[in-house]
Amino acid sequence: LLFRSAALLALFFPVHSQASGEPHIRLEPLTSDRWRVTWQLERPAARLRFARAANFFREKQWQVITPGYALEREAESQLLVLQSGATPQQQIVAEFDVYTEPMIKEYQAFVRFTDGGLLVYTGHLYLHDVADESAYASPDQTPNLTTLDVQLPAGAQAVVRGRVHANAFRWDTGAEGDGTFIYFGASEPLETDHLLAVVDSGIPAWLRQRALDLLPRLFDDYRRRFGLQLPWKPLVFLAYDASDRPGYSMVGGALAGLLQMQISGPAWAKKSAEAGQRFDYLLAHEAAHFWNGQLAEYRDIEESWMHEGSADAMAWTALHELGQVEGEELRRQRSEAINQCFFGLGDRPLRGAAARGHFHQFYTCGHLLALWTGAALARSGAPVDLFGFWHALVERARQDPGGRYDQSDYFDLLREFGVDSRSRRAMRALVEATGPAKFAAARAGMLHAGLRLSTVPGPPDPAWTHRLARALVEHLLSQACGRYSFNGSETRFVSRPIENCPLLNRELVIEQVAETPLDDIEVAWRRVNRACRAGRTVRLGTASDSVAVACQAPPPARPPRFSLHGAATVGPDATGSLPARQPGAISASQNCRDFRDPVAVLECVSSLRGHPPASTLVGFSTPGGFFQSWRDTASGRTSGFAKAPRMSGVASFLPS
């Protein structure tokens, strides 16, 4: 209450101190459940537009305190508008309770930690004067009010942008449009030279220990392998929500330099190998995105296999390297990705998975393609592994004005690294081609790259059996009614009543088909296949209750179950043919010595000489030699990489 009356006084008697004079956004806690935002504007304003409409959540959650202003909508935008007859103000105040509901396709306004900590998302505070908009081509370009003046709750410190603040602070967020999360709380952050992490003290102790142990090693490993300097210290917020959500629930979001995750539910509290592995995988997958997702962006959602699949491949590789995952489990995960990919795709190409709503295929097929990429690079004697390849892809994307890359860049770069056209064609076919022939082609192509796949006759694998049983039930239900609606797990399903289909207008439990339990899936599949080819009926249900389906078409062709042999590798380091790349092994000229990244070295040298080079040298140093290529500055195209004498004087690599 004291705070509130003080702010109201300030409204009536504006204080012309430096703090309130410059335009800024003041964010301050009122209680543990309520916050206030004050916009100090450049001049009194009548119409202000929020940077994010955020499903208009403010209309329910916020109270505008300054008299004369109200929240209004204009098309898709949320505005703060002066009501008729009221006087425009230079300082506008709103208050809101802590609101932790997840929002659809939006950043959560607040995330609570079980230990009392709180994340506040700054993007919902940004707004700008609508009167300014006419000076800009689009509202997106209009600068927001971006200086934040942040007050801390008593006893709390703040963590933002890779920094810890013990006291109130002012900070210009710059041009960052998306905003970021600020942590307020008493939890001691984990800080290393290359990572800042805040892990909820309320998270089950075994997971907290696991995160604190794994995160620094994981980030070090990625940093070394990618050989790419991040422009910010990576910041990880890991919150725990002790609600009774079933299973292993997890939500999160990534913002520049920041990963925010929240795991929920009691399942996590019980220490188990399964929960531990899930947890490690989530951290490792998301952490990979700092390098393969944040430094450059993909152009087309249908090409998401590149960043999602490589994040999976890198995650399992890193976890194995760090001793979190045994070799046999690594092989199983990779084989499972390959099988899920082939099974999920059926006759369809990978492109289109987003439109079909099968986004997970980007992970499984992308994982396969990433393994294939690594193997093909190693086989062609390229100086990079999968991580080095991504280093080069990111550098290439940075030449693009929008910082983006696409599938053509990916395959062009493979060509430049010496991967032959046969491999590139076969990889592309998996993404683009229709029909089951692509599985054989992919298998042959992977073998060509050194990845051996064998078909596995047994022993029974529950995941594989479930996948087949599901597909078989789906086929028979659609033969019966043209539609289906069922759910279930393992080899027991329940079909829900289907309207206008007399045969299945009731609930039906399905445990067997063609008098064969679904557990015995290989036999069941053969029998159904034979009966359908002959146009006979097939019984569907349980031993005591079943219906006869007139089957006219055989079930769809299914890919064989594969197993990946030997130590599949994402890079040369595991094959023994080439040692791991050593970022930082480049000697630079004296003034640019501090730069470890070859591109940064070149930029440094060229800036010293006062002119940008017509082409830039990009290169990688390995103990086996220095590999280099020239990139044309105008077109962004890179000529093939070639082995070069050790880099001694950087200046000599610049065009005259």
Interacting residues toward Zn ion by CB under 5 A = 308, 311
Query: Quick one: CA dihedral 41, 46, 49, 55, positive or negative?
Result: positive
Q: Are 239 and 249 in contact (CB under 8 A)?
A: no
Is the Cβ of residue 282 or residue 501 nearer to Zn ion in the bound state? 282
Is the Cβ of residue 86 or residue 282 nearer to Zn ion in the bound state? 282
Least distance (Å) from Zn ion to the CB of residue 381? 30
Termini Cα distance of the chain: 69
Least distance (Å) from Zn ion to the CB of residue 386? 16
- Residues forming beta bridges with residue 538, ordered by sequence position: 549
In the sheet where 110-112 sits, what is the strand order? Answer: 110-112, 118-121, 181-185, 157-160, 163-165
Least distance (Å) from Zn ion to the CB of residue 288? 8
Residue type present at position 34: R
Least distance (Å) from Zn ion to the CB of residue 365? 14
Long-range contacts of residues 199-203, Cβ cutoff 8 Å, at least 24 apart: 199/236, 199/238, 200/113, 200/114, 200/115, 200/117, 200/238, 200/239, 200/240, 201/113, 201/114, 201/115, 202/113, 202/114, 202/115, 202/240, 202/242, 203/114, 203/238, 203/239, 203/240, 203/263, 203/268
- Cis (ω within 30 of 0) for the bond into 598? no
Least distance (Å) from Zn ion to the CB of residue 407? 17
- Residues forming beta bridges with residue 405, ordered by sequence position: 298
Is the Cβ of residue 280 or residue 573 nearer to Zn ion in the bound state? 280
Please provide the DSSP assignment of 59-87 as one string: HHHEEE-STTEEEEEETTEEEEEEPTTPP
Is the Cβ of residue 250 or residue 585 nearer to Zn ion in the bound state? 250
Report which DSSP code applies to 128.
Answer: E
Least distance (Å) from Zn ion to the CB of residue 279? 16
Is the Cβ of residue 311 or residue 605 nearer to Zn ion in the bound state? 311
Query: Quick one: CA dihedral 226, 227, 230, 236, positive or negative?
Result: positive
Q: How many helices (H) and strands (E) does the chain have?
A: 17, 34
Least distance (Å) from Zn ion to the CB of residue 171? 29
- Contacting residues for 406 by C-beta, under 8 A, at least 6 apart: 298, 299, 300, 303
Long-range contacts of residues 405-410, Cβ cutoff 8 Å, at least 24 apart: 405/296, 405/297, 405/298, 405/299, 405/306, 406/298, 406/299, 406/300, 406/303, 407/300, 407/303, 407/306, 407/431, 410/306
Least distance (Å) from Zn ion to the CB of residue 285? 6
Least distance (Å) from Zn ion to the CB of residue 387? 16
Least distance (Å) from Zn ion to the CB of residue 311? 5
Is the Cβ of residue 290 or residue 417 nearer to Zn ion in the bound state? 290
Is the Cβ of residue 275 or residue 315 nearer to Zn ion in the bound state? 315
Is the Cβ of residue 62 or residue 298 nearer to Zn ion in the bound state? 298
Is the Cβ of residue 308 or residue 416 nearer to Zn ion in the bound state? 308
Is the Cβ of residue 261 or residue 601 nearer to Zn ion in the bound state? 261
